[in-house]
Structure 1
């Protein structure tokens, strides 16, 4: 992908990321590197209050996050996103969650909701566990971890894989640190609207207090990762659409996971969000699905494939008050560099958990 002129300050280059980082780095404050911004979400000590905060009633009370997630109008086609290097793939981890053969699409156990607070209000987006060295990584949209209005991280961030009607059967995973592209965090550039989040071991309340349920991907598996792939690939989209269409029709409850299937193409240019090199799929998802994965080569029997995008914007492209397209940033070598950095960070078990 060619370098965008709208990048105002930082140069590109090979010195994007280190790959060996000790767990102590999770206690640092915001850290900016060329192409990457890393921000602490919660220390291990503070994670206790975060986990306790998200009761079943609060999980159900959270609202879909519509801030910076949709647009409507007649759009021009964006420039075709192109690779900035060789294509690559990281294999998924199916764990023990294979489903066998089925005529229906078996939903991935890796996908769930992320919950957080902004300005005291409770919100959620969609997300997925993704393969990493320490089985502790989540992929979602940048705007689901970083509030561009206040220019700071969201509060009380947790991931609940397999969320269903207020239940967290595989535990609650408190966010430790997120990593997004510098251009998203500093210029609100939705061509870079993605984030990778390291989470602590999952927890759940038990008879003798909070119990450790282990590492995320050990429990639900981890999707693979793909970058610099050609546009025109068939993908599945998974998430929790909730909001109504602009005409008021609300086809989704948001309490259960849904999917779309289609072929990526050079998506609409959306000046409001500085999107001019995105990809899109025909899909009637509504907000609430933000952060859900685009997965290519999805195996319904193994429930895994390769994440090659995340739901960024729900678009009404013919101005008929119905969402008809879902957009994603194009995952290129810079995305891969941020992913590699995040995938090598350790978090571990929380000290206050039995």
Structure 2
């Protein structure tokens, strides 16, 4: 039951109700701040188009004022995916809460996204997702899910997105005000200035899930209030931006051990702290319903909505102990249904994903 948080309170959202023995699946997503346009796509959605927009007053208070709560407003509907239905369920893995503070080499590269969807800017409602600080030339890139930045087919770009690396409010009230996150942002807050997602997600993404094999995105953020770039801020905590590992190979259909992180916000979680899973085996499934080359990773893990966009990490060839690369991002998962097991899935980041990254990586530093 992965989700997309949306204002008010956290509610569960279902994505693919026929995955795995006709059980319900949901997508993870997010919510945030005031008003403005993050991105604007070209008519064709070509990779060559820089989806650039302006974030207007990202730290301005909501017109609604008062109580603010991240809401799970994710994908709803049904989509038959026999590739998932007919595959053996992965070994279940229970999530564990990661102890704060997250200003550590392993914790600082994971952060929480806050934003509004169209029509919510003055409601006080917002969405939340997760994201990862990735290695880049402009020292300012975050990798996340496509549905965390754009509604998909017929929809729009999300508004006033702010990224908070090492977000930490484990012992506090979950009804945070997205216009003032300073108390939970030890490394500062970073407003989105550019955003890119796949043309496939823009064209087909919808309440049913759409092209989940291309449910990924890159965000370039501005500087924090101290004038630091995103990379400078996380490096001050002893962390290093995470390199990308595109087209990660598998052995007998399994990747190396995977560590999954995020800020789950749907019950039984509240989105205020980092949680993770460590999966010793990861499936790589051919999801032919989404195209002849479409592939998805799937692993046992019971994180919920709000963890959308969070990173899956593994040690790539040549990396030493303690060094990890980003293999994929959380896109969808099971609904904590007794018949479907608890699992997450993320897109196989192939040459198309690398092309998207290269465009973002070539963007001038903020």
Q: Give yes or no for TM over 0.5.
A: yes
**1:112, CA displacement in angstroms?**
0.8
- Kept after mapping to 1: 8 A contact 2:193/2:219: yes
Report how far residue 138 of structure 1 moved: 0.5
Higher mean alpha-carbon deviation, 191-200 vs 164-173, is at: 164-173
1:146 is paired with a residue whose SS is coil
Gaps of 5+ in 2: 1-36, 88-101, 170-180, 206-210, 235-239
Question: As a proportion of its length, which structure holds more strand?
Answer: 1
**What TM-score results when the alignment is normalised by the length of structure 1?**
0.68
Summarize the alignment of residues 50-199 of structure 1 with structure 2, pairs less than 5 Å apart: 50-53=58-61, 61-68=68-75, 75-77=82-84, 107-118=106-117, 119-120=119-120, 121-148=125-152, 150-165=154-169, 167-188=184-205, 189-199=211-221
CA 1:149–1:72 in structure 2 vs 1: closer, same or farther (change >3 Å)?
Answer: closer
Which residue number in structure 2 is paired with residue 202 of structure 1? 224
**Do the aligned partners of residues 296 and 53 (structure 1) sit closer, same or farther apart at CA in structure 2, a change above 3 Å counting?**
farther
Q: Which residue of 1 aligns with 2:231?
A: 217
Q: Structure 1 residues 110, 70: CA separation in 2 closer, same or farther (over 3 Å shift)?
A: farther
How many residue pairs get aligned? The number is 279
The 3 A distance-change label for structure 1 pair 123 and 331 is same
Correspondent of 1:331 among 318, 329, 349: 349
CA offset digits 1:35-71 (Å, max 9, x no partner): 466422425xx3xx1123489x98x934244412897
Aligned equivalent of 2:54:
42
* 5+ long unaligned stretches in structure 1: 1-25, 81-96, 100-105, 204-211, 245-249, 349-354
CA distance in 2, matches of 1:287, 1:183: 22
1:345 match: 363
Higher alpha-carbon deviation: 166-175 or 132-141? 166-175
1:264-284 CA distances to partner (integer Å, 9 max, x unpaired)?
212485969999521111111
Tell me the CA shift for residue 187 of structure 1.
1.6
Distance 1:180 1:274, change over 3 A: farther
Aligned residues of 2:114 and 2:126 also touching (Cα < 8 A): yes
Deviation at 1:216, TM superposition (A): 0.1
Q: TM-score, normalised to structure 2's length?
A: 0.66
SS in structure 1 at match of 2:359: helix
* 1:264/1:79 CA distance change after superposition, 3 Å: same
RMSD: 3.7
